[in-house]
Structure 1
Amino acid sequence: MATLVEPSFDENILRALCETDCGVPLLMDRIKQSMVSCREAAAFLKRRAGVEDEYGKSMQKLARQAANEYATSEAKAGSYVNAWQSSMRTHEVMAENRIKFALRLNEMSEELANLAKEVDKNRKATKDLATRYERALQESESITEKAKSRFDMTAEELERLLLQKEGESLKDNAMQGRSPVNGKRVLGKAVAKGGMLLKGKNPQNLQRQEDDVRARMSTASDAYRKAVTETQTIRQEYFNFQLPRILRAFKECVDEIDLGTQYHLARYAFLCESIVHSDATTITPPDDNSPSLKATMESIDNRTDFKTYMQAYVYAHGGTNTRGPRRTGPADEGFLPPMPAAHHHPGTSPSPSHVPLSDKGRPTFGVNLSEQMSRDDADVPPILVKCCEAIEKYGLTTQGVYRIGGTHSKVLKLKERLDRDLDSVNLDADEWSSDISNVTSVLKLWLRELPDPLFTSSQHADFLDAARNENERARHIRLHERVNALPDPNYSTLKYLMGHLHKVVQHEAQNAMSVQNLAIVFGPTLFGQGQPGLNGQLNGMADASLQNKAVETILEHYTDIFVDEADD
């Protein structure tokens, strides 16, 4: 397993641990606490994965069952069945996202459990090593104590012998009072070791006994000196070399499990945000071509559905009701013939809503930006100017402008009219000015349908690299360079659009659209929709955050990038 320990190990902490006498138990207790925390996090993620998996599978089963049952039932058809089946597909997508989320949580739980096992294994190995060195030092100190006791005993025996040799009585000697044991017991030990203190004061015997005691004392002294030297060597090696190494190993275990647990919890937080964002984009796609769940339900046209049902029913039943009263009775009852159906007067003109629009052959949607501007001989695309002026006139104080999508049918209607004859469309009309969200949705749709996005595909990676800069000033400078490198049509269009969004931000108190909110809306729009992540949807969100950061930085520094540069 790759270590998660920081490359810059905190030597000051290690030095402080070496100076305290409780460094080893301190770190061992800390490791136990961290392991409990790690295992608790792993258990939570496993249980959360079970909840999400059960929810996803239940939702998936419910959506499929509801769709199948509706298909075999005698329920309504028309726009209702289309909306119903579309909403069930939306629920299936949400269920699949939850199942994937549960899978990722299970993987993280297993990784945390393996981390705890690995750290516990390293802790036990280091603990065994520390125990061996501590036991070796304790055994050496015990040997030294025994050698010292033997040396002290031999020294006392020699002192008594010398006193007898000088003719002093053991009973009158003050040393006997200082002896930790009674004289008889010590004397017995001396005799057991070959001493002859009870045999009188024969000078020859005393001399031989003195020589024997001195020889034993020399041997005990050498053994004691050797034991002290060996103990000091082991002690110095333990405290100067082995203990720092043991403490470092324990501290690395602490860092590994603490940082590993924090890393996985941060991943969990990111995945939680991702799944919520995924549900939001599934229910309300940022692409206006894909209707939201709300727009899908609003697309139900009960009036048209009923007309279609009525026509089909009349056709299927021949226009007669065999179970009810007849419209006409027998001919001899004198009933009047049925009233003729009403017809429109020949001079009546069709409804204005059905008047066909002229097509002047100047399509705007899906046309290359440079081609549009060259054809129209304009520095800024006319559709951008037309929409932005209407939005600034009617929408600057609208709550959630650009965030709230328009009605799907009206957005498509306005798009068709602008594409047929841009000049003839009056955005001041109540049909469009009363709900400015239709105009904002058309403007975003025009930007998304550009063959090459405003931040061109060739510079896509350059913009993301610039946005990765953590330093605000460096990110501003790099993105300024990327903007200046855009083709002239893209640069002039971006400059006008950012000037418009700058005005929107100035009314944030009324419209609640901050720089960050606008960046979230326009990030995917200005970078195009064809840039998925390398490893699926969750990883693709990393690019989305960089796209948003790029747009946010450019909009924050609009004056520095565009206005001041123009003045220069």
Structure 2
Amino acid sequence: MASEPPQFPELSPYQQDKNNNHNQNHQRSGSMSLGAPPGTAGSENDGSVSGAPQPQPSTAPAPDAAGAESERQVHEVLQSEVGISTLLTRLKQSISSTKEFALFLKKRAILEEDLAAGLRKLCKMSQSTMLHPDHRQGTFAEAYSGMMGVHDKIAQNGLQFSSSLHQMHDDLVELYTYAEKNRKGWKQNGLSAEQRVADIEASVRKSKAKYDALAEDYDRVRTGDSQKGGKMFGFKGPKSAAQHEEDLLRKVQGADQDYHSRVDLLQAERAELMRTTRPEAIKALQDTIRECDAGLTLQIQKFASFNEKLLLSNGLSISPLKKDAETKSLRDIVAGINNDRDISDFVVSHYRNVPPRTGEPKYERHAVLGGPSHAGPTSLQPPGQVPHGPPSAQFSMASQQFPGPLSQGAPGSTFASPMGPGPAMGGPPSKGHERNFSHTSLLSNTSLPSQSGNPPPPQQQNQQHQQHQQQPPPPQQQLQQQQQQQQQQQQQYGPRNGQNSGPAYGPTPSQKPPQLGALPFQQGPPQQGPPGGHHGHPNPLMQHQPAGADRPGSGGFPQGRNHSPPQAPTRPVFGVSLARLYERDSLAVPQVVYQCITAVDFYGLAVEGIYRLSGSVPHVNKLKSMFDSNSDSPNLDFRNPESFFHDVNSVAGLLKQFLRDLPDPLLTREHYTAFIEAAKSDDEVVRRDSLHAIINNLPDPNYATLRALTLHLHRVMDNSHTNRMNSQNLAIVFGPTLMGTGANSDISDAGWQVRVVDTILQNTLQIFDED
């Protein structure tokens, strides 16, 4: 059974070059010393060693001989029946290694991405918190911001590294998927051909065994060795020897033909296998293995390169090679902190808060106890008495002693001239001096204890006239006492709405009247007269009241806070529709909403139970009245915690109060039913998209206010680990506030209202763009 010589696949270029080098080394006259290790021979740069014996040309170097033997063994294995199965096993190893490295890259990419994203979020949150007024500013804030910028660059490098690892993972997945597909195909084709040849070879062996057995039986019958009695028994009776020999001959001939045909088939199949099927499978599997191994090696090299790039980028971010004004190293940034300068700048920033110096207090014994006889702070000059000295000198003295609005001659702050009563005593009130509650209360609280208007006795007038010639003008002492009293009230009750520290002369027309909730001095009892029941002269500040102010029915109000009617808001904010506020103030988001959000962002994100806990009702009412009076007042800048009494829960309550007082809820009654129907959808995506579409149909002021409020509440949710206010808790608080009640609503809608707001908060960044 002679078979054709096996056909071997072509050698790869690498193997051809190796064989060429091997042949060249055989042709060269190279040599090596006897004591040299075998690894030093066979090199292309090998040269002759002086004094060493030349080896015989037929003796090949050891490495070349080993390489040739290895190649011969590889060739024999690949051309044998186990060649395809061996390469399939090797390809499976390459695929498994590629899968494992791809899995490593994926997990490493996820870790790097989480680390970078967490670092960026931490830097953003820390930098935002550091900008709050209750943290250090100045050079420290600048250095801290620069340090966070360096960390942000490191996080950006980590994100790029993670993106590269994800791309490498995808490439490796594509690579081993392609290799697995090829392996399955060639496993089916190659092994099936090998198995077919093996099955034919097994059938040939069986046919040969049968053929040999029949031939032996025929030979024994033909020679007579197997005859016993001369007859053979069969199914149809005894056979003669001739008949038995003829039957065996016929069987032997049939077995010979079967054996011959099977051998021919085996030779044909084996030739086909050796000529085409096996070489093609071997070559395809080798190419797939090389491609898989090369791709895996390339990705490992890229991984090493990307690691170096990551570390180098982080190093350059921390300490750049080229340093200029814009790019500083982390060491230089931290070195820029100047603690002394920060302290000095902070102290200087409070220079405007230094109170004016009023002089040292002076002890004066009262006349009742034997002190010098004088009228005290209540003894003012009567209107009809003219002091000594020219009128111009008296007027200049009064201008110097009364700073502020009095010396400027502003209308509404004039006082009685020492030259005598003005003509305004009997005439009608002038324009711009109309009396309102704030003006009257201010004058009544800053006037002297005795306001009956009765002139003092003549003896007292003479005594006062004599004292006036010996002492400085008494109004200066009275105003100094009023200044000290008002400063004490400001320290006790906090800053007032729209009032600066100074004498309470009454507001000028350019000043807005103080509000009821912002007047702590109206809550005190009326001032009492001097000891002994002596009444002083009327306060000169009251001499220019409108005529008839004290007459019944003239429009004047009695003194005291309990009997005064409330004053109507000048620019109401609460209870006004968003459309009306937008037309009046030209602000897409009302000022009260903006200030409340600012205060909570600065001081309330870490407060446990924010928006769930109630604030102080007096604080909320006072802030509400201040916004209704003048929402643009500098005293309503909530970046300063003193503006809201250091009570951020009151600010949260003020915001909820504004939303509750809207004539039409923020989400509008018009869309109430649509919101409830959208909330009833169990599919989260459908529910989100339905709510998104309804929100887009809201009026512009409602949409802008809802967007600002939702983004703010999303920031509150981000700090839920501290404030315990997740989306569900916030939705319970704001659900009824934002939606109100519809025309056909009932108590069962409360759960759907909470679901509407909860869905909006959970999908804030999908519904609104954060810019």
TM-score, scaled relative to structure 1? 0.47
- Name which structure has the greater RCO, CA cutoff 8 Å, separation 6+: 1
TM-score, scaled relative to structure 2? 0.35
Of Structure 1 and Structure 2, which has the larger fraction of its residues in helix?
1
The structure that has the greater radius of gyration is 2
